[in-house]
């Protein structure tokens, strides 16, 4: 069953406000290679601590819900970028963060409880274009589905 994004995320936000965690299958390729559309499920949990660099968060910007990794923090402002992106960072405030990813599930098994912070991947930003190009040639099915 498919719901319009507005209705789906409204329900997600209600559940999170009640202190519940929510599982969802993200769509899109912006978190490749760590979260793959159609294959992986993420567990979103309410914020119980301050957001940190490296956290994968669900945030709202211009009325859209986006799941990306926190790249840097400057006071109350966050710079966020998808792991599969080579440029194009988003900027938001801490108040725009709706949830944090606490688990990644792949084919029924937990890949990462409290997923890694992606330190090495963030360091590789200048080389992502090459790494992702190779990845897309090796695992093309993710990109053919969308």
- Within the chain, where are the H helices? 5-17, 119-123, 128-138, 141-145
User: Taking residues 70-98, what's their average pLDDT?
Assistant: 94
Sign of CA dihedral 101, 106, 109, 111: negative
On the question of pLDDT at 146 being above 60, the answer is no
User: Taking residues 45-53, what's their average pLDDT?
Assistant: 94
* Bond before 136 cis per omega within 30 degrees: no
Residue burial 90-118, b: 16+ Cβ < 10 Å; e: rest: bebebebbbbbbbbbbeeeeebbeebeeb
On the question of pLDDT at 87 being above 70, the answer is yes
Question: Domains in the chain, please, with CATH?
Answer: 5-145 (2.10.109.10)
On the question of pLDDT at 143 being above 50, the answer is no
């Amino acid at each position: 069953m498919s719901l319009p994004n507005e209705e789906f995320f409204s329900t997600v936000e209600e559940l999170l406000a009640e202190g519940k965690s929510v599982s969802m299958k993200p769509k899109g390729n912006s978190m490749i290679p760590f979260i793959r559309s159609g294959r992986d499920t993420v567990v979103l949990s309410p914020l119980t601590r301050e957001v940190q660099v490296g956290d994968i968060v669900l945030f709202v910007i211009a009325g859209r819900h986006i799941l990306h990794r926190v790249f840097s923090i400057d006071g109350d402002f966050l710079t966020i970028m998808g792991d599969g992106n080579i440029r194009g960072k988003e900027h938001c405030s801490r108040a725009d963060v709706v949830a944090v990813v606490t688990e990644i599930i792949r084919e029924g098994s937990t890949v990462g409880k409290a997923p890694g912070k992606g330190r090495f991947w963030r360091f590789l930003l200048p080389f992502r274009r090459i790494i992702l190009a190779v990845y897309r040639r090796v695992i093309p099915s993710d990109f053919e589905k969308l």
